[in-house]
Structure 1
Amino acid sequence: MVDAGKRSVMGVLVDVIDYDAAVAKVFAAAQQQRPFILTALAVHGVMTGVSDRRHNARLNAFDVIVPDGQPVRWALNLLHQAELREWVSGPELTHRVLWRAATEELPVYLYGSTQRTVARLAGALTRTVPTLRIAGAEPSRFRDAEPGEYARIAERVNASGARLVLVGLGCPRQESFVHAMRPLLAMPLLAVGAAFDYHAGLLSYAPRWMQRNGLAWMWRLVLEPRRLWRRYLILGPRYLVRLSAQKVGLWEPPVPVPSHRPAEPAPV
């Protein structure tokens, strides 16, 4: 089990952590019924924090940020000699969390994406994890939250009997959402993004060799070129330039500062 704390990747505090440690932290919080927020950040998520200082402060208030993808793992190893042997994929982490939740009989709440995706996800999970208890499933509204709306969502989650929440809103909306919800729910909230689509059967995984060589982004780009071309063809090179500059000392990222104040406006 690897849990060596947080390290700055271009000013975003990413955890040097593996699957076992991340899952253990999630269920420690669930068992103790305390607030806890986690997100799985790939290159896009890190670069969103680099370009938006307010969002950077929100990210740095997360309990755990797992390195989702080879490029973020490589950054931890390059900048901090972390010797991290594997990245922590959001879909795989979701899979492990769901099986543990089923084993411990902890009900799960699903929040985000579209009605179609959430319905397919709930159905798929009842087949793949048959003992899992899904306390509730609620799609995104794809708009900014109205006054008091976070409190109403928290009421629904608590009334369902859920002990942890999986959130699939896409980056950076999901990070803003779970950050805002943290003071309202005494349970883990995990921002897992595309894991909803993968587990619902709407996205296929990149071949393992592409994942090992940091090319999973290319697979996603082929599958969704119109939606993702800007993310990968513009942000990817910027990530490499910033990472190289930080490594050789030509650029010093801002000192990471956490913020526990909810974003306004933020999405639901």
Structure 2
Amino acid sequence: MNAGISPLLTNVEAPPTVATEPVLGVPLAITDYEATLDWIDAAVAAEHRGYVCVAAVHTVMASQEDPALHAAVQGADFTVPDGQPLVWALRALGHPLEDRVYGPELMDRACARAARTGQRFFLYGGRNQGALVELTRMLRLRHPGLKIVGGYAPPFRELTDAEDEAVALEIKRSGADVVWVGIGVPKQEKWMARMRDRLDTPVLIGVGAAFDFHAGIIPQAPPMMQRCGLEWLYRLRQEPRRLWKRYLTYNPRFVIGFARQFARGRSRS
């Protein structure tokens, strides 16, 4: 059993199956922060080998156009609703979720819990090695006792098979219980699907821009904008050249697509 398991967690059975509801073809988990963290603990205790996706509207819509991304999302143990519009969609479908499971917040809460339990984390991602070092420093300052046992900032290109094997060996040697993956959609989902069978680490979690947020490279949207589902607008103002197409194309298509899904559901009821 991994050393990072909480001494209070004695159930080593497989982690529970998480209930889901499809939104435009993507099964979204009916869950919250605490249930997700409990699932991670159970997966580590059972030495399970799985991965978790964190989805905003971008992920849902891009998966309709990218078969490899779609397969990676479908292959996950579950996908949490990261974007506020996805929470609204799930509520419309009859699931009274109180909040989304926002990737950066999930990572921060997991760090707080791991600082108590001794779970070991590996960080895969970051803009460069310097940014990864700063992320590690910030997380350790915020959560004294947190065990970050390794990290790797990949280049902005596809890794060769030999490079993938070297990374897999580094992660194995680290003894990590969880690998946090922050290389953005769709790279992180495809990486987790591709690397899952090469790694002994129980849980891989893709959290996108969380690395940049926690390292202090990019500021997060104000809480009010997040609650109103306007985080996309805040980020668009920060990085218009990179994000304009994503938001101005996918957001309207999501609204139209979900309206059709909702209407079909009502007609059958």
Q: TM class by shorter-chain length?
A: 0.7 to 0.9
Per the alignment, residue 132 of structure 2 pairs with 118
Q: How does 1:111-190 map to 2 (within 5 A)?
A: 111-113=124-126, 114-186=128-200, 187-190=202-205
CA contact (8 A) 2:89 2:258 kept: yes
**Structure 2 residue 105 is the aligned partner of structure 1 residue 92:** yes
CA contact (8 A) 2:68 2:190 kept: no
Per the alignment, residue 213 of structure 2 pairs with 198
The match for 1:214 among 216, 229, 251 is 229
Aligned counterparts of 2:206 and 2:73: Cα–Cα separation in 1: 11
Q: CA deviation at 1:116?
A: 2.5
Q: CA deviation at 1:160?
A: 1.3
Aligned counterparts of 2:132 and 2:57: Cα–Cα separation in 1: 25
Q: CA deviation at 1:132?
A: 0.6
Per the alignment, residue 49 of structure 1 pairs with 63
Aligned counterparts of 1:142 and 1:37: Cα–Cα separation in 2: 22
Aligned counterparts of 1:71 and 1:206: Cα–Cα separation in 2: 15
TM-score by length of 2: 0.88
Aligned counterparts of 2:164 and 2:193: Cα–Cα separation in 1: 11
- Are residues 84 and 13 of structure 1, via their aligned partners in 2, closer, same or farther at CA, if it must alter by over 3 Å? same
Identity %, equivalent residues: 38
> Which secondary structure state, in structure 1, belongs to the residue aligned with residue 20 of structure 2?
strand
Number of aligned residue pairs: 247
| Amino acid in structure 1 at the alignment position of 2:115 | A
**Structure 2 residue 241 is the aligned partner of structure 1 residue 226:** yes
Q: CA deviation at 1:4?
A: 6.1
The match for 1:40 among 51, 54, 70 is 54
Q: CA deviation at 1:176?
A: 0.3
Give unpaired runs (5+ residues) of structure 1: 251-268
Q: CA deviation at 1:200?
A: 0.2
Greater RCO structure (CA 8 Å; 6+ sep): 1
Per the alignment, residue 241 of structure 1 pairs with 256
**Structure 2 residue 72 is the aligned partner of structure 1 residue 65:** no
CA contact (8 A) 1:26 1:36 kept: no
> Which secondary structure state, in structure 1, belongs to the residue aligned with residue 164 of structure 2?
helix
> Which secondary structure state, in structure 2, belongs to the residue aligned with residue 17 of structure 1?
coil
Q: CA deviation at 1:47?
A: 0.7
Aligned counterparts of 1:22 and 1:194: Cα–Cα separation in 2: 19
Per the alignment, residue 101 of structure 1 pairs with 114
Give unpaired runs (5+ residues) of structure 2: 1-16
> Which secondary structure state, in structure 2, belongs to the residue aligned with residue 60 of structure 1?
helix
CA contact (8 A) 1:12 1:50 kept: no
CA RMSD in angstroms comes to 1.5
Q: CA deviation at 1:40?
A: 1.0
TM-score by length of 1: 0.88
Instruction: Give deviations 1:25-83, integer Å, cap 9, x for gaps.
Output: 111111222212012100101111122233212211101211002101111122x2111
